[in-house]
Amino acid sequence: MNDRKQLVIKKAHQLFLDKGYQATSIQDILEYTGISKGTFYNYFSSKNELLISIFKTLHKKMEYERNQLLIGKDPSSIEVFTMQVEFQMNMNRSNNLVTLFEEVLVSHDPELMQFIKEGQLRMVHWIFQRFIEIFGEEKKPYLLDCAVMFLGILHHNVKFSTKFFEQPSSINHVIRYSVDRISKVVEEVSSAGEQLLKPELIDNRFNHLKHRDQGFKHNLCKTIFTLKKSIRQQEQSHCIELLDFIQEELLHSKKPRKFLIDSALQTLRNCLAFLDEKEFETLDQLAAAFFNQTEEELV
């Protein structure tokens, strides 16, 4: 995304907050951002697409920062999960996303409503995947239910404690309380063997994104972090740059380029004297699995 388009997205976000999405016309956007109508339609097919681009831009940034909190940490740590949830909620607040979400819900626009629905499912899927890491694969049959319940517990606790009863509790306290409650629920439902929603319901829905799921991202970040730690000579900074490139290309490029990844890995083989060889092989295997999965999806 070029810098000018990013600036338009940023300014339009502020305009929607100041004036309201429904009350803002495309002419308002043109005047506020200083672009022509032709440039606007070169970037976006409609005002709806502009709003969706705002949500996607913020989500991409949030997801990246949320994943960064896992680097070098134990994925099964409930403390790390709590930090990730707190970061996401604070980012939503600082960008006033709730205000925009509420406008979408009031509008009943089918395109926007579908986008919000997909976003909610992605959030449930992320929590579900993290719960598997935290509570164990053996509890997976009950963790989709628990992911849904956790969102309900968390959102209602925040809503009632801060808005209805105006309690001075920090968001961190509310999140920790909610995480403690769901931890007990996980133990209860798994012991009882009770299930409402089968995990296959969400696994199947996101199966086409398997290569981009949290497990892949966590493993890639962890492997690259370990490889960077194994580089001790400052003169090997080009090796670190190559590792950064591979991580950026695989996680954040819309269409990761296999030939560039292969070239970077081949160059990194010259750095094996300074790298953890076992971790390098893991990185090579992760990249290969990524592109194999992509090719299978295209068949």
Mean pLDDT in residue range 244-259: 83
In 3D space, the residue among 87, 41, 82 whose CA is nearest the CA of residue 64 turns out to be 87
Single-letter amino acid code for the residue at 271: C
Number of other CB atoms surrounding residue 272 within 10 Å: 12
- CA distances to 17, 28, 48, 108, 281 from 21, rounded to whole Å, are 7, 11, 9, 13, 50
246 in the same domain as 204: no
Number of other CB atoms surrounding residue 137 within 10 Å: 9
Tokens of 296: 């299978």
pLDDT tens digits, one per residue of 5-64: 999 999 999 999 999 999 999 999 999 999 999 999 989 989 999 999 999 999 999 999
- Among 209, 224, 243, residue at a domain's last position: 209
Is residue 118 classed as helix, strand or coil in its secondary structure?
Answer: helix
| Rounded Cα distance, 28 and 240, in Å | 45
- Helices assigned H by DSSP within 160-257: 171-192, 200-205, 214-230, 237-252
257 in the same domain as 164: no
Q: Give domain status of residue 80, yes or no.
A: yes
Q: Which domain holds residue 276?
A: 213-296
- Among 162, 189, 209, residue at a domain's last position: 209
198 in the same domain as 265: no
153 in the same domain as 99: yes
Q: Give domain status of residue 203, yes or no.
A: yes
Better pLDDT: 94 or 203: 94
274 in the same domain as 184: no
Q: Give domain status of residue 36, yes or no.
A: no
Confidence of residue 215 (pLDDT cuts 50, 70, 90): confident
| Rounded Cα distance, 80 and 76, in Å | 8
282 in the same domain as 158: no
Query: Per-residue pLDDT for 210 more than 90?
Result: no
Mean pLDDT in residue range 65-81: 92
The domain total for the chain is: 2
pLDDT tens digits, one per residue of 174-198: 999 999 999 999 999 999 999 999 9
108 in the same domain as 94: yes
Please tell me the predicted confidence (pLDDT) of residue 257.
82
Q: Give domain status of residue 147, yes or no.
A: yes
195 in the same domain as 227: no
Is residue 162 classed as helix, strand or coil in its secondary structure?
Answer: helix
% of residues, the chain, pLDDT over 90: 58
Q: Judge whether 100 and 82 are in contact, CB under 8 Å.
A: no
197 in the same domain as 118: yes
Q: Whole-structure pTM over 0.85, yes or no?
A: no
